[in-house]
Structure 1
Amino acid sequence: MVDTTAEIVLFDGFDELDAIGPYEVLANGAQAGASLETRLVTLEETDVVTASHDLRVEPQGTLGEPDLLLVPGGGWTTANEGVRAVVADGVLPDAVDECYTAGATVASVCTGAMILSEAGLLEGRPATTHPVAVDDLEATDATVVDERVVDDGDVLTAGGVTSGIDLALWLLEREFGDDVATQVAREMAHERRGEVFG
């Protein structure tokens, strides 16, 4: 019986490492003993999602009712692509807000923070994002902090791209203990960087 479900929501133009890095960390966490199931999902059923560097990913289903929802970034600096298109469309931010309202912990990597901001989840909260979006995030109601991972309880944000690995390791440590996180970091030959803010 799996106690915790994690879903990473994909959209055309997402940054590959923002999603796949945390996916591998969380999947390895389950192998290390965490009672956790992780899935790559989309809002609507589709056969394939094309990421920002043209990697084509086959999702494992559609967004359900996860305990943890992770939102990647990608494409913020390009008009009508990736996060920029998703924020303009408004459907994913609304879905993120619905998951949060239903009790999910919500986390973002990189410019995924702009989706959380559009969903209204960063108002008055400390948050971080990729350097290319810091000025835009500062123009919202978020309190931008220069940290790799920011934990504000039920909303977490991580900075640029590779910080998603540190975010996922922190989530393993927070939810399942230091032993699990340490084992996964060792297996992945990843040296964790920076202290978690929050």
Structure 2
Amino acid sequence: MVLAEKKIEVELIEERFWEERSEFRRLNPAGKVPVLKVDDFILSESNAICEYLEEKHPNPPLLPRTPEERAEVRRLVSWFDDKFYRDVTVNLLGERMMKRITGVGYPESTNVKEGSRQIKMHLDYMSWLLDRRRWLGGNMLSLADFSAAAQLSCLDYISDVDWDRSPLVKDWYATIKSRPAFRSLLSDQLSGFPQPPHYANLDF
């Protein structure tokens, strides 16, 4: 989304990180995606990649100007990439989809129930933020919005987001969803997991 928002052309390469290819491990010993390769420069970890792109291509900006505003955006990026991911995405997407894709077992109902419980708290927190700001991180679209939208897009693909819980969050996501940078995600198709009818619908 950051690359598309900044209109940076890139070749996307699918990497099944769970297969632990030795060639990929040489790019990133942690065995995680994403990895950015620019000529001989190789960078891993999504936060580092996004901030690198922001510094190399500052327009349009995805970080605000003041140190205080930037700190708040970084706090929320960490919230969604770490806390939301552990509380919700791992328990829902990880159990319902990734276990099947990677062949490591069957969903644990306890984890799914916990993810379903936790997402309510996170949606309520997002609603609280959006009741006080135009965007999640403040008055401008930022990396915080993209971090949150990335998690929710994955969960929406498996119909695990109750959009009726918060009209503010639903309207925010509809705005993000309608951006050209988001369009490529709406065409995603995973083998064995067909898109739900609402996924690519801008008026979901």
TM-score by length of 2: 0.30
Q: Choose between structure 1 and 2: higher strand proportion.
A: 1
- Structure with greater Cα Rg: 2
TM-score by length of 1: 0.30
